[in-house]
Structure 1
Amino acid sequence: MFSLEVCETLKGELHELLNKDCNLGSDDNKFLNYVAILDNPKTSSGLAKSWKEEGNSLFSHGDIDDALEYYGFAGVMLSLIVLEEEGAASFCELAFYILLNLAACFLKKNEFDQVGLLCYVVLTFDPCNVKALFRRAKASVGIRRCDLAYWDLLPASKIDPSNKEIAKKLNEV
């Protein structure tokens, strides 16, 4: 689905997005860099997956700040691993999940600019990603830009016409 070149570009976006103004301490950075240079990139991506799953658990229990931290660690880890052709598609899929989960956290915190930025990155690589369109639309509603929300909800409703949440939000907008 995604070439190694596209995944490398996504990795660069992920690195820029999550490492800029990152609140990681020096010990955190040392650990992440150590894990990133392991001989087996599957080990690093496995660690990123486990951090994503821990973030999911925290999010489902309402612990948004800690979920953000775990998703952030997972994303930073992904941005540091060495990509191989065989793992390119799974890398992109995991990166999208992490970015969209971060966006869900920022929606809960009403940090709508962050949501828009994260969803923009996902949509740059996957323009038909319904979750990214829907979350960015919700962020647009949050900043009272229903016109922008409409332009995300319209294609989302065409991609997933049975999605009742999208239809409801589209009617509201």
Structure 2
Amino acid sequence: MNNTNRNLLYLDIAVDNDDLDRLIIEPCRFTASYNSSNEFERRFFVRKIDDVMPLTLFEVRFKNYVKFGIDSSLKKPIEDTDATSSAHAFNNRSGNGTVLDKRFYEELPMGVMVVNQTRDEFYILTCRWSELKQFSDFDVFGRVFKGMGSVIHLSALKSNSKGRPATNIRIKDFGIIPPGSSLLGLKRRDALLDQFPFLPQDASSIDFNDADRVSNAAYAIKSSGNILFHQGKFEMASFRFDKAVRYLSHAMELKKSPFEHEDRLISLAVACMLDSATCKIKRKDFDAALNLCNEAFEYNPDNSKIYFRRGQAFHGLLSYEKSLADLNTAQRLAPNDKDALFLENASLFMYFAVANE
């Protein structure tokens, strides 16, 4: 139920063919015209700057039709004010200038995602809050009502050398949810248990010296990845598996020597690495899968599943001799693994086929 006294704005965003969770924003103020049916088909670009804190601010413009912003960190919406008050407001394009006071900067976290417009295309720029002073054309501000996970996912996408995303991102649909309207008619997807911050350092609710608390959080994140994987959303699933590894690694880094239950955390970390490698293989990103397998070997060099997964990656890279070596090892360590035997035979066939060319 929209229990606010203002319209909510919703966005359906797709990454490649994967639909993100619907993003619902409670704006302070926005102007919109929904007569242009093709505007939401426009692409926007994502650029990621290294060493960025978790992102919580997000602004999108559909040309001059929709303008809004998001802040998930504040407990209540920022109220609209006029230029004479020292309140939290952005400058608008009508010429009625409003300013940001010092308290506004202090309340916001460092991580910010901003969207600007260039001609008829869009891009997302991620940067530190202190770097935002180079931008002068903010319009509206608000907060995430639902769907913060989608914002975090967008911020983690890879970009190419030109700062554009390596994947196709588009806004499929958007619209208004009036006050008092039910949210039940909106798209619903499987509930994800992962409600944890992007960085483990920001997860104040977790005692990283408590192996049970850490493993429970990692299992919740991993289970979210499993749901996304079974939906065929491999990039989104990989993001969750990598996040689980990040949490487990952080806990283990805090321990300077072997500790109780360390083996359990290592085993879970390896499982998440292999799950992420599987996602990479599904997306034919074999080099990334290979790197994950090599990282997993540092934790458990005698794991047959790592050899099998790396054999898959080598097979995808057409390195059939290396694939055979890993799959032979996987078969020796787990002689009843039929998948390894099948792929071994396939690699053997391809190896001789290439050798006879």
What TM-score, normalized to structure 1?
0.77
Q: Which structure is higher in RCO with an 8 Å CA cutoff and minimum separation 6?
A: 1
Runs of 4+ residues over 4 Å off in structure 1: 21-24, 27-31
Contact 1:96 1:122 in 2 (8 A): yes
Larger Rg: 2
Contact 1:36 1:77 in 2 (8 A): no
Aligned 1:60-139 pairs, distance under 5 A:
60-81=230-251, 82-83=254-255, 85-139=259-313
Distance, in Å, in 1 between the alignment partners of 2:264 and 2:201 is 21
Per the alignment, residue 342 of structure 2 pairs with 168
Distance, in Å, in 2 between the alignment partners of 1:137 and 1:113 is 12
Task: Give the C-alpha shift of residue 34 in structure 1.
Answer: 2.7
Change (3 A) 1:147 1:22: farther
Answer yes or no: is 1:146 the counterpart of 2:316.
no
Q: Return 5+ residue gaps in structure 1 as ranges.
A: 1-20
Distance, in Å, in 1 between the alignment partners of 2:307 and 2:198 is 35
Distance, in Å, in 1 between the alignment partners of 2:198 and 2:219 is 19
Per the alignment, residue 216 of structure 2 pairs with 46
Contact 1:36 1:44 in 2 (8 A): no
Change (3 A) 1:22 1:74: farther
| Higher relative strand content | 2
Once the two structures are overlaid, the 10-residue window that deviates more, 32-41 or 134-143, is: 32-41
Which amino acid in 2 is paired with 1:33?
A: Q
Change (3 A) 1:49 1:30: closer
What TM-score, normalized to structure 2?
0.39
Once the two structures are overlaid, the 10-residue window that deviates more, 120-129 or 43-52, is: 120-129
Distance, in Å, in 2 between the alignment partners of 1:22 and 1:132 is 30
Deviations 1:67-93 (A, max 9, x none): 112112212212222447112111101
Identity between Structure 1 and Structure 2 (%): 26
Once the two structures are overlaid, the 10-residue window that deviates more, 157-166 or 121-130, is: 121-130
Per the alignment, residue 332 of structure 2 pairs with 158
Which amino acid in 2 is paired with 1:159?
A: L
Aligned 1:26-41 pairs, distance under 5 A:
26=111, 32-35=200-203, 38-39=206-207, 41=210
| Higher relative helix content | 1
Q: Return 5+ residue gaps in structure 2 as ranges.
A: 1-49, 56-110, 113-151, 153-196, 348-357
How many pairs align? 153
Per the alignment, residue 6 of structure 1 pairs with none
Change (3 A) 1:30 1:166: closer
Pairwise CA RMSD of aligned residues?
2.4
Distance, in Å, in 2 between the alignment partners of 1:37 and 1:158 is 43
